[in-house]
Structure 1
Amino acid sequence: MTMVSLGDLAQSFLLKSQATRLKRDADRITGALASGRVADVGAALSGDLSRLTADSRARAVTAGYQSAAREAAAQARATQAALDLVGGAAQALVSPLLRASQLNLADQVALAGEEARGRLQTALAALNTASGGRSLFAGQAINRPAVAESGVLLAALRAELAGATTADAAMARLSAWFDAPTGFAAMAYQGGIALEDVAVSATDRVWLGVTAADPALRAVLKGLTAAALIEDPALPLPLDESKTLARLAAEALLTGGERVTDLAARLGISEERIDAAQSRNAADLLTLELAQAEAIRSDPERLAVELEAVQTSLETVFAITARLSRLNLTDFLR
């Protein structure tokens, strides 16, 4: 019978190789125990990665919807705050205008007109609000202000009202200018068409398409500009007509304020849908994350058994290596 023996160098190399392999196995097992994940995903899933890939893709898509929902929620909140400012400016001016319309005092009319110019600037500033670098009321023209400044707006209206001798005539011209495509839309509105509905989940698209050209906001601006011009030198109306114009402006602001409230309510519905979509997205992300974790979760009991076996084998290799390192001729001949 032929005997095959290993020389000392070959034997030493074999033991070192076994020790290295066993250490590598021990590192793999302890890493899997620490992370709770298998080290070789492909082997754990028998090479079938389709489910894991599908879950990863679904997570990426849902995370994208969640990001869009967060942006939409921030935009809706900022828009609501701006609408509150516009509505507040309209509401605050109604009482001074009605008071001016009832008192036979030119100074009271002048004071109401001065306050109206300040309220107009407040409303225009609110309509030019930007959030996250996006103009809120400019529609798809997100990189520019929605409306012109008050000086430009009032200058255009002074030209439009030239020659008007009664409050009714002045208000009729104002209404026509704000409604005509060649009026407010062409000379004061600087935005674009309304934004498309925003997808905030796989099944939900919400409306955020309010612009400064919305009829509700134009109604408020009409009342504010009418009030700002009740004592303007370009519109030299008699005191009685100025008082009438103050009353008409107050009525326009009341109507416009109600329409802005309706607009805010519609936006509030979108906010509720965004919140609901965010909750569903969060739940879907958690479900997908748990499914992925379960697919690649390590088995601690099996790993503990494997680690014990590796440690035993490693101890055996170390013991043999130590014994061989102490071997001399006398021990070899025994």
Structure 2
Amino acid sequence: MSSFHSIGDLSRSYQLRLGQHGLKTRLDRLTEELMTGVKTDIPRALAGDLSGLAHIESRMKILQTFQQNASEGQNRFTTMQSVLERMQSVVDELGPRLLSEPSIASDQDLRNRADNARQDFQSMLTALNTSSGGQYLFSGSKSDSAPIGDLTAMLTYLNAAVAGATTAAGIAGRIDAWFDAAPGSGGFADTFYQGDDSGDTRFLISPDRHINSKLTANSSELRDTLKGMAIITYASEAGAALSTDTLRELFSEAGARLVKATATLTSARSDLGQQQAAITQAQARNAAEITALSLARTNMVGADPYETTTALEETEARIQSLYALTARLSKLNLTDYLS
């Protein structure tokens, strides 16, 4: 004969299960809030007014974008500084030597020096094709392609530009004219330089500040260096075709340009340094505002760890009490109860 369950028995069983479900749901919620530090029901915590929170989160996303731009800019300018530093180390050492050696060195020593300078020039051209983050640093707004070619291509253009010149002054003048030719005149800017100086390379690093470096492989700040290196490299390429007197004079022509280049490279590096300082300042301001906004957001939606822990302990105690009551009524074990 089957046992009889009264309406009271069924109601009590339902109430126990309902209480069990409610406590387990509360336990899960409080556990998540304790782990994340954020209220699980944000609309309820803010009484349905999410406008303030939306404003804070939107502002934080904008600032994080600024920070990413600033970080990319800092990497970019740091790498550019490194390239210019390597160039200047060569120029500072080579320029004075090219001016002094013609009066004391032998013809063979001068030709060896020219050959060594040619290798330095190749390294410079390679350095100017440096890329960072998939962008070429000295290409201006056309950053998806290398700004200049290699030394072989350079010598082809130099030989064409110098053709017909027989004196050191004439050779150096032709090389100067090729480097300084206006766009459209068939000079360096048209034939060897592959970047673009006309586009906009600015990007925002804070709500009220942008950075922009117009320094490219075609910039006047670099052309004195390129001219001096090109002249001495041409001397190396011409070899025995140059008389000793012409070779010595080309050394002096190249040295004069490299000595002048020391000042222009220093100026270029100073401009980059100012941009780097602006980035550092912007990063500090952005970080301070992000911190303030994060605190404001936490005050709005954060779960107080002390209150959450207290509520969690209370919920666990109630679950234990409900289990004890249910076990006495149904003779359950804890494993079955929690399943």
| Fold equivalence (TM over 0.5) | yes
Q: In the alignment, which residue of structure 2 is the partner of 1:248? A: 253
Q: In the alignment, which residue of structure 1 is the partner of 2:190? A: 186
The worse-fitting range, judged by mean Cα deviation, of 95-104 and 224-233 is 95-104
**Equivalent residue letter for 1:109:** L
**Equivalent residue letter for 1:262:** S
Do the aligned partners of 1:62 and 1:285 also contact (CA within 8 Å) in 2? Answer: yes
Q: Matches of 1:71 and 1:208 in 2, distance apart?
A: 13
The worse-fitting range, judged by mean Cα deviation, of 64-73 and 291-300 is 291-300
Label 1:159 to 1:29 Cα distance change in 2 as closer, same or farther (>3 A): closer
SS of 1:21's equivalent in the other structure is helix
**Equivalent residue letter for 1:214:** S
Do the aligned partners of 2:122 and 2:150 also contact (CA within 8 Å) in 1? Answer: yes
Do the aligned partners of 1:229 and 1:235 also contact (CA within 8 Å) in 2? Answer: no
Q: In the alignment, which residue of structure 2 is the partner of 1:6? A: 7
Deviation at 1:24, TM superposition (A): 2.2
**Corresponding position: 1:280 with 2:285:** yes
Deviation at 1:145, TM superposition (A): 1.7
Q: Matches of 2:301 and 2:127 in 1, distance apart?
A: 52
Superposed counterparts of 1:50-199, under 5 Å = 50-103=51-104, 105-180=106-181, 181=183, 182-193=186-197, 195-199=200-204
Label 1:63 to 1:304 Cα distance change in 2 as closer, same or farther (>3 A): closer
Label 1:23 to 1:142 Cα distance change in 2 as closer, same or farther (>3 A): same
Q: Deviations over 1:253-290 (max 9, x none)?
A: 11122101110110011011111111112222211111
Q: Matches of 1:183 and 1:234 in 2, distance apart?
A: 24
Do the aligned partners of 1:207 and 1:267 also contact (CA within 8 Å) in 2? Answer: no
- Could you tell me which runs of 5 or more consecutive residues in structure 2 were left unpaired when the two chains were aligned: 1-5, 332-339
Q: Deviations over 1:148-199 (max 9, x none)?
A: 1111111211121122122222222111111113211111112122652221
Label 1:320 to 1:243 Cα distance change in 2 as closer, same or farther (>3 A): closer
Q: In the alignment, which residue of structure 1 is the partner of 2:230? A: 225
Deviation at 1:40, TM superposition (A): 1.2
Q: Matches of 1:135 and 1:305 in 2, distance apart?
A: 57
The worse-fitting range, judged by mean Cα deviation, of 229-238 and 86-95 is 229-238
Q: 2:274 aligns with which of 250, 259, 269?
A: 269
The worse-fitting range, judged by mean Cα deviation, of 90-99 and 211-220 is 90-99
Q: Matches of 1:313 and 1:237 in 2, distance apart?
A: 100
Deviation at 1:207, TM superposition (A): 2.1
Deviation at 1:30, TM superposition (A): 4.4
Superposed counterparts of 1:24-39, under 5 Å = 24-39=25-40
Q: 1:295 aligns with which of 287, 297, 300?
A: 300
Q: Matches of 1:105 and 1:299 in 2, distance apart?
A: 83
TM-score normalised to structure 1 length: 0.87
Label 1:276 to 1:324 Cα distance change in 2 as closer, same or farther (>3 A): same
Q: Deviations over 1:97-148 (max 9, x none)?
A: 2233213732233123212211211111111111222211111222222111
Label 1:312 to 1:119 Cα distance change in 2 as closer, same or farther (>3 A): closer
Q: Aligned-residue CA RMSD in angstroms?
A: 2.6
Do the aligned partners of 2:96 and 2:259 also contact (CA within 8 Å) in 1? Answer: no
SS of 2:196's equivalent in the other structure is coil
SS of 1:205's equivalent in the other structure is strand
Do the aligned partners of 1:201 and 1:277 also contact (CA within 8 Å) in 2? Answer: yes
Identity of aligned residues (%): 31
Q: Matches of 1:218 and 1:147 in 2, distance apart?
A: 13
Do the aligned partners of 2:91 and 2:262 also contact (CA within 8 Å) in 1? Answer: yes
Q: Matches of 2:293 and 2:18 in 1, distance apart?
A: 42
Q: In the alignment, which residue of structure 2 is the partner of 1:332? A: none
Label 1:325 to 1:160 Cα distance change in 2 as closer, same or farther (>3 A): closer
Q: In the alignment, which residue of structure 2 is the partner of 1:214? A: 219
Do the aligned partners of 1:178 and 1:222 also contact (CA within 8 Å) in 2? Answer: yes
Label 1:185 to 1:293 Cα distance change in 2 as closer, same or farther (>3 A): same
SS of 2:44's equivalent in the other structure is helix
Do the aligned partners of 1:138 and 1:190 also contact (CA within 8 Å) in 2? Answer: yes
Q: Matches of 2:242 and 2:321 in 1, distance apart?
A: 110
Computing the radius of gyration over CA atoms, which structure comes out larger, 1 or 2? 1
- Could you tell me which runs of 5 or more consecutive residues in structure 1 were left unpaired when the two chains were aligned: 327-334
Do the aligned partners of 2:118 and 2:236 also contact (CA within 8 Å) in 1? Answer: no
